[in-house]
Amino acid sequence: MGIPKMNASILMSMIGLSSFVGRCTHRLLANLRYVPPKLVYVFNTTVEGTVLMLLPLTKGNYNYMAIISLLFRLCNVTYFPLAAVCVKQSVGVDSFPKAFGWFLLCLGTGISLDPYLGGLMIDVTYNYDVSFLVAGGCLLSSGSILGAKLLHRRIKAGRHTNNTYKICTTVDVIQTQD
């Protein structure tokens, strides 16, 4: 992409810092229970796919590439730990081992085929942009489908049937700190 070696090493350090911040944020959201894990999962998957599709638009601009890379990593580190939680919440404890096994099989298949298919797209099109657009489109469609399913369930079940999570307001945060 035409980035000097020094800028590339700074970018890698910034991605590492973004990974640390993402893990802390994920832990905070999970412990406070203000936001359901499935919603965080949908949001991160959707944002991850969107920023991956925006990467070809940077055209080698270091600042844009840094922002997109940081957002991608921030969403990526919170995406994978939530997968097990979301599978368990979706299928229940009894079916969790089988469902999580299928999830891991599909994930492993995708990870195994990714370099081959990405290389094939690059060989056919002589361009890296297509592989980023396809991968981002897959993530974006995955997040959108899951989000639509969650929205459908929420509408079907009624507004607030699950009181495990509450809406966080500034007053609640101030009261819990006192």
Query: What is the per-residue pLDDT for 2?
Result: 67
CATH number of the domain encompassing residue 152 = 1.20.1250
Query: What is the per-residue pLDDT for 160?
Result: 53
Confidence of residue 26 (pLDDT cuts 50, 70, 90): confident
Domain count, the chain: 1
Confidence of residue 178 (pLDDT cuts 50, 70, 90): very low
- Stretch 138-146: mean pLDDT: 89
Residue 33: pLDDT over 60:
yes
Domain around 44: 5-177
Average pLDDT, the chain: 82
* Long-range pairs, 16-23, Cβ under 8 A, ≥24: 18/69, 18/70, 18/71, 18/73, 18/74, 18/77, 19/73, 19/74, 19/77, 21/74, 22/73, 22/74, 22/75, 22/76, 22/77, 22/78, 23/77, 23/78
Look up the pTM and report it. 0.76
Residue 63: pLDDT over 50:
yes
Confidence of residue 32 (pLDDT cuts 50, 70, 90): confident
Residue 87: pLDDT over 50:
yes
Q: Which residue has the higher pLDDT, 135 or 175?
A: 135
Confidence of residue 162 (pLDDT cuts 50, 70, 90): low
